[in-house]
Amino acid sequence: MNDKFKPMGDFIARDNSERLRRRLASGFKVREPAAFVRLAQSVFDMALITGIVARLYRAIILTREGGGGGLYIAITFTLGAIFLLSMTTGHLSRFPLKQWVWRAPLFAALVGAFEMLTSLALIAARREPLGTGAATFGDWPTMAAYAIGWRVLTISVFALVLAGIVKWVRYLLLRRGHAAWSSGTVKAGVPGEGFIERRRKQ
């Protein structure tokens, strides 16, 4: 007899899980301007902005008069890293985790490419720092290989760590949500449902 009612139980469990996923997802929605959403979804546009800003920022802080010492360099490069990883997060967060496998390295490679195109303009203006002097066009191929390779490595590792954090947080939220569904009254958060009371049979 128990097997007879098992399909209905499985259906209810799946339905509750889907309701729970929708409730959790709805809790993280934030209204954003349509133009910003389109920008964040475009790997080309996001990489273009990130690459240009990152290279100009690097040139400015390395050519600052007076240097500023080690603390200045550490703080400014930390801010640059925060900007780079924030832009990476802003783009990747628009897509499912399974797409991060190719989106992260693609975004990184494009960022590096746009950085080095900006570097060409800086070299032409003699504003691209390299060591204690200015870089030349002869230095550019080596600089490009290093910059693109470093961007791909850094952003790919960051995306891997971020994906692990996202999976872990989702697991904790789902486990907590399932516990709430099993133990008592929860607010479903699905439009039109209001409060749903589920009481365990005694």
Query: At 180, is the pLDDT very low, low, confident or very high (cuts 50, 70, 90)?
Result: low
Render pLDDT for 130-144 as a digit per residue (tens, 0 to 9): 888 899 999 999 999
Task: Note whether 189 and 22 are within 8 A (CB).
Answer: yes
Render pLDDT for 17-72 as a digit per residue (tens, 0 to 9): 555 555 555 555 567 778 888 899 999 999 999 999 999 999 988 887 555 677 88
Long-range contacts of residues 156-161, Cβ cutoff 8 Å, at least 24 apart: 156/104, 156/105, 156/108, 158/85, 158/88, 158/104, 159/88, 159/92, 159/100, 159/103, 159/104, 160/104
Ordered by start, the domain boundaries in the chain are: 11-196
pLDDT attached to residue 163: 94
pLDDT attached to residue 200: 43
Task: Note whether 88 and 159 are within 8 A (CB).
Answer: yes
